[in-house]
Amino acid sequence: MPDFSAGLNFRQLEIFNAVVEEGSTTRSAIRLGISQPAVSRNVNQLENDIGFALFDRVGGRLVPTKFALRLQAETKKAFMGIERVVKDAQDEDTVQSGKIQIAAVPSLSLSFLPKAIKEFILDYPEVSISIETRTSRTSLEMLANQRVNVALVSMPISHPGVKMEILDSPKAVCVVPKEHRLAKKEIVGIEDLIGENLIPMMQGHNSRHRLEELFAAEGYLPKFKLETSTIEMACVLVEQGLGITIVNEITAARHRRFGVELIPFKQSMNYAYAFGFPAKHPPSEITRIFVTYVKEYVKKNFNN
């Protein structure tokens, strides 16, 4: 039975691969820059370690057995994996400059994104960043047309030229003025909103559909006096005492300092944000590093 108690020898596997590819110990020795006896010795030792012959000696040539070919295929995969890890580490060490072009929905570009960018720039001060605040649909079109490197959008949405990667699924909160009757509650449900001056998103927005579904389940048909196209504007209207709103915690967080309270909302609003990348072009190393910073920022500040 093969004895692997000491582990397979990396150098022996490297020599073995060379012999399979070259077909002789002499050519393998030249390729590796070692002596021919050293090649033969290592091959023999590897065969002794695993307990079976790897080569048939035919007319002065070393012909790999079927087991040798299988072993060589697997060791090549292992070597390639090691090379990728080393290259990734080297790339991260050397990436210090470059440009990142971002398209992001207002609810992100006007909320936490500037702070995440600040943390990133502290570590990569030579990287330049441009940000375009656009709708989700426009952001994906810009990405597909290679006008930006990465998009931050609200889900659900798709585009044939874009692949998506989820950033976060934030919780829903009820944003109310500090003096509002709901401000002292620990959690707010859809039943608490009946009769309130609720400020929703406009028709066509996913959260508007969800609110109407929740109200319908309570047998109530709400009348909205105010509506808006952006979550940011909804929060600003609450600051002015014009009503209350249901939005995601990521966008709402910055408004605490403007005289509002954020109360957890009992029902799920199915919020989700995602990164978009060109489907046929992998992101640059610096873009991928930036994405990691954004993910870590969200995880640290919103996933408690």
Please give the C-alpha separations between residue 212 and each of 118, 155, 203, 218, 228, in angstroms, as whole numbers.
38, 18, 10, 10, 15
Q: What percent of the chain has pLDDT over 70?
A: 92
Which pLDDT tens digit goes with each residue over 84-134?
666 666 555 545 668 999 999 998 988 889 999 999 999 999 999 999 999
Q: Phi first, then psi: give them for residue 181, nearest 5 degrees.
A: -60, -25
Other beta carbons within 10 angstroms of residue 183's beta carbon come to: 16
- Compute the distance between CA of residue 82 and CA of residue 284 in angstroms, rounded to an integer: 20
Task: Return the exposure string of 241-254: e unless at least 16 CB atoms fall within 10 Å of the residue's CB, then b.
Answer: eebbbbbbbbbbbe
Q: Phi first, then psi: give them for residue 295, nearest 5 degrees.
A: -60, -45
Q: How far is CA 187 from the centre of its chain?
A: 31
161 and 144 in contact (C-beta within 8 Å)?
yes
Helix axes 285-302, 66-94, angle to 10 degrees: 80
Q: In a 3-state reduction of DSSP, which class is residue 173?
A: strand
Task: Return the exposure string of 12-46: e unless at least 16 CB atoms fall within 10 Å of the residue's CB, then b.
Answer: bbebbbbbbebeebeebbeebeeeeeebbebbeeb
For residue 176, pLDDT beyond 60: yes
Q: Is the pTM of this model over 0.95?
A: no
Please give the C-alpha separations between residue 233 and each of 137, 177, 197, 229, 243, in angstroms, as whole numbers.
19, 15, 15, 8, 12
Which pLDDT tens digit goes with each residue over 25-43?
888 888 888 888 888 898 8
* DSSP-derived secondary structure letter, 291: H
- Compute the distance between CA of residue 193 and CA of residue 197 in angstroms, rounded to an integer: 8
Other beta carbons within 10 angstroms of residue 137's beta carbon come to: 12
The full set of domains in the chain, from first to last, is 10-93 (1.10.10.10), 96-169+272-302 (3.40.190.10), 172-264 (3.40.190.10)
- Compute the distance between CA of residue 264 and CA of residue 259 in angstroms, rounded to an integer: 17
pLDDT for 304: 59
